[in-house]
Chains A and B, each alone.
Chain A
Amino acid sequence: MSELYKVSSNPHIRSKVTTSSIMLAVIIALLPAAGFGIYNFGPRAFVLIVVCIVSAVLTEFLFGLYRKKTTVFDLSAVVTGLLLAMNLPVKLPLWMGALGSVFAILVVKMLFGGLGQNFMNPALAGRCFLLISFPTYMTDFGSAGTSFAGKVWDAYSGATPLAQIKAGESVNALDMVWGRTAGTIGETSVIALMIGACFLILMEVIDLKIPGSYIVSFLLFVGIFGGHGFDPAYLTAQLAGGGLILGAFFMATDYVTRPITPRGQYLYGIFLGIMTGIFRIFGPGAEGVSYAIILGNLIVPLIERVTKPVPFGKGGKAHGRQ
């Protein structure tokens, strides 16, 4: 026996997709919407995004020093920081953004065991934490200085379209699709978000099971209970307004906090659609996506329990002979 070769259990080949390549794809997919947010709301949006990302990564890095295990290179902290920033209004004091990131990474993610162990989406939990702690700042969608969009700036600040609808005012659905409205940094432009979502679908990072069932059930719910029937303008405004698109494609699809079973994913999407509808129509605020997803996260174990897949060849009418 002159030389020994490496041995391992089968299979001996691995796909090229890794955890960090998936995270990188998500970051790339978020860039159009983040870029539009910066264009729409001005340089302060950029600063807030950077603050959130840096504090998220730094928190994970410092925690890693304490646990003697570096995990920042999987890029998941970057995704969390970026997602959190996209869910914040541009005027929010920077230290609040940083605090949200620290909460998301330290409390929601690392203390529960790090990547893959958290039961709530860290970015959304961070947002909800800020929303409860600093409600005035978190719902102030006013201007924060000069916007790159120039003179039409005023139209983009002030009340969000969903708040306007709730108050009985009319909104311009086309502006909402483009994103020329008030709102959080990354949620306003449906077009920019959809470019990113299509990229993720093409890269096979996400599929339409959750976003599809979420959006369809939400539209059915607001169509039936929203008091405007299936009025296309109203439905478009509901669809394009608030964080629905951002939530459905980028946060409800978060691997760690959604059901792993295929049938469970449909059920989860429907649950989110109904909860979002309830919060938006019957709740005190105009928004509902964040709370719906956080609630959805909590019932994931139950959903998985009732939607276990049937193993090949067990049960069903295709069993054995036909």
Chain B
Amino acid sequence: MARLTFAGGIHPYDGKELSKDKPIQEVFPKGELVYPLSQHIGAPAVAIVAKGDRVLVGQKIAESAGFVSAPVYASVSGTVKTIEPRRVVTGDMIQSIVIENDGLYEETEFQPIAPVEKLSAEEIVDIVREAGIVGMGGAGFPTHVKLSPKEPDKIEYVIANCAECEPYLTSDYRRMLEEPEKLIGGLKILLKVFPNARGILAVEDNKPDCVSLLKQLTKAESKITVKALKTKYPQGAERQLIYAATGRQINSSMLPADAGCVVNNVDTIVSVYRAVVEGRPLMERIVTVTGDAISNPRNFRVRIGTSYAELVDAAGGFATPPEKIICGGPMMGFGMFDLNVPTTKTASALLALTKDDVSAMEPGPCINCGKCVEVCPGRVIPSRLADYAEHFDEEAFLKNHGMECCECGCCSFICPAKRPLTQEIKSMRKIQLAKRKKG
């Protein structure tokens, strides 16, 4: 049974009014576009073009390097300028293909696709893999892997994650309002992969217009339901979403498939639609450029590889000098120190804030108030886990379920002593995950 919510969570200022009424605008980039070969979880793609090659829009420039990997496509036409390590949003240097845009947007011929009805499940998964589609909500897990669970017959729900619970983000919202038929079409394609599954469009109830629009459009679809979930961060976190939509719980070591679920983000599902129906690989996405430091907050249709600096220009530049720039939402996004990095498949937003809460507040001692326990959707004790992490007490950290943290940031947000709880726990989790990998 659906709970439509979960225990814990927070209600931060959502800032969506800055950009929610701005229709999606196309951005035409100038100069060079940068395509990191690793925009997904898994093996980095392998470049199949060389310096000096001319490429067209929609041409594959890097090939997938294994099952858990994804190819990369050019989003502009032009010449390959170089292939070298470039800085990405996380601050790392990643091997990237750099293309000088010739501004002609000459397209390759997109393969006409057989009618969707005639496609088999395997063929759909193949198309998705070939199109380079990955989880565009932020994780970047290759979508074809999600679509290939051990027992596809046991999948009972395909959930479209339309929660968009991160404050400030409105890209999914605009997508749902402007192209709902593509979202629904994409979901129907996914349902073809899982014959026994029903589709759920899980929307937070702060978007009533989306809920009623999607309900109206799916009236005739017996296998698809729209669920209005309670607005609360992190409603869109995979495990919380599954619980809210189906009443099923999974822990950190389980996959959604263990609860008979497959979860995909709005933009991902639309990309599946475009790949299957229009034959277009993943070349663009919607990016919200917003924050109180931005002159004209906007939702942009962005050719992947475009520099963030160009998006800021397209949004009228900065109204006030920003103190902090975030790639993604304020709860789980990355702080950026430089704007000259490329957008990738997982770039949902650019947020520029005039004031940085984190550096403005000095952390103090824990007063044991328990607010982190109240808000933690993972039902652990963040303040204690952060202590164990700080003192590098691995045994206590693992024994007290430190690995169940989903790094949503609720504890750091709510902490009155302003302790960096999420950061401490995250660092320890990283070390433990690396140890696990080594065996």
Task: Write the residues of chain A forming the contact surface with B, with a CB cutoff of 8 angstroms.
Answer: 1, 4-15, 17-19, 21-22, 74, 76, 114-117, 255-256, 258, 260-262, 308-314, 316, 318-322
Contact = CB atoms under 8 A, between A and B. Distances in A.
Given A5-B323, A115-B365, A321-B248, 16 more contacts: A5-B324, A5-B338, A6-B356, A6-B358, A8-B324, A9-B426, A10-B331, A12-B330, A12-B333, A17-B371, A260-B370, A262-B370, A309-B380, A312-B240, A313-B249, A319-B249
Given A21-B416, A312-B239, A116 B373 contact: no
B325 interface: yes
A22 B369 contact: yes
B247 interface: yes
B368 A6 contact: no
Contacts of A5: 322-325, 335-338
Contacts of A322: 1, 247-248
B248 A13 contact: no
A260 B366 CA distance: 12
A16 to B, nearest CB: 9
A258 to B, nearest CB: 8
12 contacts: A6-B337, A7-B337, A10-B335, A10-B423, A11-B330, A18-B418, A22-B416, A76-B367, A115-B364, A256-B367, A260-B381, A313-B250
Main DSSP-derived SS at the B contact region: loop
A210 B89 CA distance: 46
A312 B405 CA distance: 9
Contacts of B373: 260-262, 309
B412 interface: yes
A29 B268 CA distance: 51
Contact of A311 (B359, B378, B422): B378
A213 to B, nearest CB: 15
Contacts of B326: 12
B365 A15 contact: no
Contacts of B12: 13, 15
A255 B369 contact: yes
Interface stretch (B57-65, B100-108, B181-189, B253-261): B253-261
Interface in B395-439: 400-401, 404, 407, 409-410, 412-418, 420, 422-423, 426
Contacts of B247: 318, 322
B365 A9 contact: no
A253 B127 CA distance: 59
Nearest to B371: A17
A309 B414 contact: no
A313 B254 contact: yes
B377 interface: yes
A252 to B, nearest CB: 14
Nearest to B336: A5
Contacts of B323: 5-6
B335 A7 contact: yes
A310 B413 contact: no
A8 B323 CA distance: 12
B45 to A, nearest CB: 27
Given A18-B418, A260-B383, A312-B249, A74 B254 contact: no
Nearest to B91: A7
Contacts of A319: 249
Contacts of B333: 10, 12
A321 B380 CA distance: 22
Nearest to B259: A320
Nearest to A114: B365
A309 B7 CA distance: 12
B21 interface: no
Contacts of A1: 338, 340
A312 B340 contact: no
Contact of A260 (B1, B252, B368, B423): B368
Contact of B359 (A6, A76, A116, A314): A6
Contacts of B359: 6, 8
